[in-house]
Amino acid sequence: MRLALFVLAYNLGNFLRRFALPKEISNWSLTSLKERVIKVGARLVMHARRLVFQMAEVSLTRGMLAQILERIRQLEPAPG
């Protein structure tokens, strides 16, 4: 089971790197992606009727995160 999870995580990382990352960070290693994108130091804060995603901009800027999320949003699901 552990090997299957590793393979799934590796494939997800490669998929993310190939289709969703901006050119500036597309050459980062999978370890760098894990530490800088997935393990982002952030918190979700609720103000009145909206949620605010507060993150430490140490290695990933707000613009880069917005580009990644926009590229993920543009991906279309496979037909069928």
Q: Please say whether the beta carbons of 68 and 37 come within 8 A.
A: yes
Q: Where are the domains of the chain?
A: 2-74
Instruction: Give 8-22 pLDDT, tens digit per residue.
Output: 878 877 887 788 888
Looking at the predicted structure, is the pLDDT value of residue 74 above 80? yes
Q: CA torsion sign, 2 to 7 to 76 to 41? A: positive
Look at the pTM and tell me if it is higher than 0.85: no
Query: Is pLDDT above 70 for 40?
Result: no
CB atoms within 10 A of CB 74: 9
